[in-house]
Amino acid sequence: MKLSARDADAFLARPEADRSGLLIYGQDGMRVALKRQQVLKALLGANAEEEMRLARLPGADLRKDPAQLLDAVKATGFFPGPRAVFVEEAPDAAHAAVAAALDDWAPGDAFVLVTAGALKPASKLRKLFEGHRRAVVAAIYDNPPTRAEIERVLGEAGLRDIPGDSAGALTALAQELSPGDFAQTVDKIALYKRGDAAPLSIDDIEACAPRSTEAGTDTLIEVVATGRGAEIGPLVRRLQGQGVNAVAIVIAAMRHFRLLYAAAADPGGPAAGVGRLRPPLYGPRRDKVVRQAQAWGPDRLQTALTLLTDTDLALRSAGQTAPAMALVERALIRLAMLSRAG
């Protein structure tokens, strides 16, 4: 059974004991790993590995020895309590071994948890879980964390009763950092506040946050594509502080605008064009690209690509004397203005 985003959050927080298995897949390995840790902790408790109630199997090994998964599911645990078998980074070819384990599963057997990278709709492994009556599947997209996810991370670190301004700062930090980095930063804040009964302040957060947060090139390109010119300067300077060079920003922008042009120029329209992209796009990112391609149109996207190509050539020119980041910032602001033209 396929879980919606809301149902997936609820299931990962409180897995149903009568389910036989769960597939978690997504393009970002860190996000998948964090969700896997969450569900295993909720299902088995904190001491599952020490009590030998969690077995780990590399997904690639199931091709050579598919029976080992069923053996692990049926094995009798030495310690009392729920058990699970974790199949890590399962390839699509492992679907037969997983199917055998799910079909032969009975109450009292170990829960089957499988993780994988990005899976196409035609994936046999994905179809197996989506069509199974006792197993479920959760897709993990590269979206900013929800309020519930942020509150869960804060609660696990022991941070509660946070003032409104500090909560806003933590939410902004969660949008900028990767999930793993945000969790580490929250743990650092919790240690920093240990023994301090005063409410969490902005100064406490700034003392523990990374000196140069990963605003990310993708965030900058999103700002440009949606015409938010006023936000470009601070993001460019933040990326510069992280050591990102001007050419890398231009290359990332060209990649994104080529993708938009391919979608916008499709005879069937942007939605059909996005559907033909390889690798394919899924979920909210797909919807975002369709909206941007529709808003820009092929003519303005051609102009944008010409501007980016000229900027790239200027940056690589031997006679270039102007500051590279200044050139890039000016080009991106012109692009943002172009997105609002017409």
Query: Tokens 């042009």 map to which residue?
Result: 261
| Closest among 216, 210, 211 to 239, alpha carbons compared | 216
Question: pLDDT tens digits, residue range 227-269?
Answer: 888 888 888 888 887 778 888 899 989 999 999 999 998 888 8
Q: Cα separation of 339 and 300, whole Å?
A: 8
pLDDT the model gives residue 282: 67
pLDDT the model gives residue 213: 42
pTM, full prediction: 0.59
Question: pLDDT tens digits, residue range 180-219?
Answer: 888 889 999 999 999 888 899 888 887 887 755 444 788 8
pLDDT band at 12 (very low <50, low <70, confident <90, very high): very high
Read off the pLDDT of each residue in 85-95 and give the average, rounded to a whole number: 95
Cβ neighbours, 10 Å, residue 241: 12
Question: pLDDT tens digits, residue range 134-173?
Answer: 999 999 987 778 888 888 889 888 988 888 878 888 887 8
Cβ neighbours, 10 Å, residue 29: 13
Read off the pLDDT of each residue in 299-313 and give the average, rounded to a whole number: 92
Q: Cα separation of 43 and 86, whole Å?
A: 12
pLDDT band at 285 (very low <50, low <70, confident <90, very high): confident
CATH topology of domain 5-139: Rossmann fold (3.40.50)
> Which residues in the chain are classed under CATH 3.40.50.300?
5-139
> Which residues in the chain are classed under CATH 1.20.272.10?
217-340
- Peptide bond before residue 279 is cis, with ω within 30 degrees of 0: yes
Question: pLDDT tens digits, residue range 99-123?
Answer: 999 999 999 999 999 999 999 999 9
Helix (H) or strand (E) holding 241: helix 232-241
Range in 23-27, 40-44, 94-98, 315-319 the model is least confident about: 315-319
Q: Is the pLDDT of residue 31 over 70?
A: yes
Where does 217-340 sit in CATH, by number? 1.20.272.10
Range in 30-39, 51-60, 61-70, 230-239 the model is least confident about: 230-239
| Closest among 137, 48, 46 to 90, alpha carbons compared | 137
